[in-house]
């Protein structure tokens, strides 16, 4: 797509590649701006049913914010979220995105790179990958969701250990904490990712979007409140043609043909 992000779409799948391998895919303002355009396009395009997010070069998913640029730039209005920053809202706080995003991690996922992984719905990593939120060692804070998501997605004591110290941990440890769906040898990474993508595409796109919205929107609700809440994607699914097509295809013993409507 541009100098810092590669963006392609084929067969209902969008592929987003962070493309600054010479600096381990560190994210600068240009990359954030381009990613903002990408996520807006993903959200608009009803033909996109799944997204794969990865980093170029085979050494890193992303090592996070480009600190050289951070040192030279103005201070943000807030430590948390992307309001007022390039590319806002970023994936880490684009809470209206209901398309599933799969992180393909090969190598380092540090700082903002790890925060991107935490913001994805599924994550697959090579066994040589490493993770960390090292911001406290730099006088910073993991404000793009790291302090919030890690404490929600992993047990609290190990999450606090990594948040407070900036320690690195392996892909095997990340899987043990429930942060990854699969860990595989690097040679098997693409096959594993494509298996997850194929399974997503087998499902009705409106069902997938409704599930994502309901599951994430209800995380902090009491169970009774979650049952009573409104989920716009579920209302669209209930009245869509795919809700008829699925049961009909099952009765007729044929694969369903999803319209996404």
Enzyme catalytic residues: 115, 135
What is the total residue count of the chain?
Answer: 261
Q: DSSP for 125-144, please give it.
A: EETT-EEE--GGGGT---TT
Residue whose C-alpha is closest to residue 200's, from 6, 11, 8: 11
Residue whose C-alpha is closest to residue 98's, from 222, 20, 205, 254: 205
Contact 171, 128 (CB under 8 A): yes
Q: What residues contact residue 7 under an 8 Å CB cut-off, 6+ apart?
A: 1, 14, 15, 16, 17, 34, 38, 41
Residue 51: phi and psi, rounded to 5, are -130, 135
Contact 52, 193 (CB under 8 A): yes
Distance (Å, rounded) from C-alpha 123 to C-alpha 65? 20
Report DSSP state, residue 27.
Answer: B
Cα 141–Cα 144–Cα 146 angle in degrees, nearest 5: 70
Cα 222–Cα 227–Cα 233 angle in degrees, nearest 5: 115
């Amino acid at each position: 797509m541009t100098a810092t992000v590669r963006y392609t779409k084929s067969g209902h799948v969008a592929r987003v590649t962070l493309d600054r391998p010479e600096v381990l895919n560190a994210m600068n303002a240009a990359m954030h701006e381009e990613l903002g355009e990408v996520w807006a396009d993903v959200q608009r395009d009803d033909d996109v049913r799944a997204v794969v997010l990865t980093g170029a070069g085979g050494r890193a998913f992303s090592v996070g914010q480009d600190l050289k640029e951070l040192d030279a730039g103005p201070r943000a209005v807030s430590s948390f979220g992307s309001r007022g920053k390039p590319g806002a809202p970023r994936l880490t706080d684009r809470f209206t995105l209901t398309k599933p995003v799969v992180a393909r991690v090969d190598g380092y996922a540090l700082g903002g790179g790890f925060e991107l992984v935490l913001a994805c719905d599924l994550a697959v990593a090579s066994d040589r990958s490493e993770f960390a939120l090292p911001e406290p060692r730099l006088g910073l804070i993991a404000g793009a969701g790291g302090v919030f998501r890690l404490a929600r997605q992993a047990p609290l004591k190990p999450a606090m250990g990594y948040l407070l110290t900036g320690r690195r941990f392996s892909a095997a440890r990340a899987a043990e904490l429930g942060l990854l769906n699969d860990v595989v040898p690097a040679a098997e990474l693409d096959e594993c990712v494509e298996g997850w993508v194929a399974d997503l595409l087998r499902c009705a796109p409106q069902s997938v979007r409704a599930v994502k919205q309901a599951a994430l929107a209800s995380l902090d609700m009491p169970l009774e409140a979650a049952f009573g809440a409104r989920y716009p994607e579920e209302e669209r699914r209930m009245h869509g043609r795919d809700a008829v097509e699925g049961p009909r295809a099952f009765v007729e013993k044929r694969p369903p043909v999803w319209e996404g409507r």
